[in-house]
Amino acid sequence: MNVVHETFHIVQFDRPNRTFTDGSWWVEATANLFERDVLKINPDYFHGMGGTPSLIMVPHFSPWFAPNAPNAPGQWDLWSSGNHKYQTCYFLRYISQNSDLSVDDILSLQFIESGALNSSNGYYYWEPFEKLINLLGRDNFESLFIDFVKSVADLTFLSSHELDGYLRSLDFILTKPIQDNRIAIDVQSNGTYSPQYLNQAFSWTVIKVNGQDFNYEIIPDAVGSEGTLSDFSSFIKIKDGISFIYVVNTSDKTSGDETFNYSVTISGL
């Protein structure tokens, strides 16, 4: 599978229009998308699923946020944040499955001359999410992201072959000292709580409530850490009598690391 992924990198870096984004997240996410699209008919490919569990380990990261990566074997503390950017391929694939854009349409965006030209090096710098939002419409893009998070919550974003491999990978990775930020708030009783991990744009956090008969209210800050208007929504998944509130941020950002805070009030528990 690395051959397919790395071959697509060769195409990416040999493209005539030389369009680049800041950072490597789009390069890696689209190489992963290409890899999964080419190998989707091969069940053996999905035995490992590698870094896929990192998608849920740092869900408060924006799809483009890639703060660091492990540079040596055994750097498990950097595993979640280092692998997260690759998993944006699943949102891109979800877009292709639920909109008029195909996988080929999404992959081809990086080969179209667009963005701001840097005269010193001849490269065009562009924001992929801005391009996708322009093509799909802002409201549709937000709805697709929220629905994608719902599919992550119930694991329907994976095929049956992928799910088997994902669960094996998850069991393995949880034996290592990784960054595990799956639960932002663990609620045992009524009260008002704040998350220990703050949402970035186009991300989610999870509130675990030990019960299923209760009321809740999400109270967002008006703006994020850089002044962007906050935009939150939420939904609940219940498993074995425990409720998981998914708090989804779709604030109007397509790059950077701005954070958005909220509090939640639980009553009637």
Per-residue pLDDT of the chain (269 residues; tens, 9 = 90+): 578 888 888 888 776 566 777 678 998 999 999 988 877 766 666 555 678 999 999 999 999 998 877 766 778 888 999 999 999 999 999 999 999 999 999 999 888 766 777 777 777 788 899 999 999 999 999 999 999 999 999 999 998 888 988 999 999 999 999 999 999 999 999 999 999 999 999 999 999 999 999 999 999 999 999 999 999 999 999 999 999 999 999 999 999 999 999 999 999 99
Whole-angstrom distance, CA of residue 29 vs CA of residue 9: 11
Assess whether 190 and 232 both reside in one domain.
yes
- The reply to whether 65 and 165 lie within a common domain is yes
Same domain, 126 and 209: no
In whole angstroms, give the CA distance from residue 87 to residue 219: 29
> Can you tell me the distance from the alpha carbon of 47 to that of 74, in angstroms, rounded to the nearest whole number?
22
Residue 220 lies in a domain: yes
Task: For residue 233, tell me if it sits in a domain.
Answer: yes
Residue 180 falls within a domain, yes or no?
A: no
* Domain limits for position 160: 2-173
248 lies in some domain: yes
Residues 152 and 213 both lie in one domain: no
In the structure encoding, which two tokens stand for residue 105, read together? 């349409």
Q: Which of 122, 146, 173 is the last residue of a domain?
A: 173
Boundary of a domain, candidates 119, 140, 173: 173
Strands 203-209 and 185-187: parallel
Verdict on whether the full-model pTM lies above 0.85 = yes
Backbone conformation region of residue 122, classed left if phi is above 0, alpha if psi is from -120 to 50, else beta: left
- Last residue of some domain: 173, 206, 228? 173
Query: How many structural domains does the chain have?
Result: 2
Same domain for 132 and 65, yes or no, is: yes
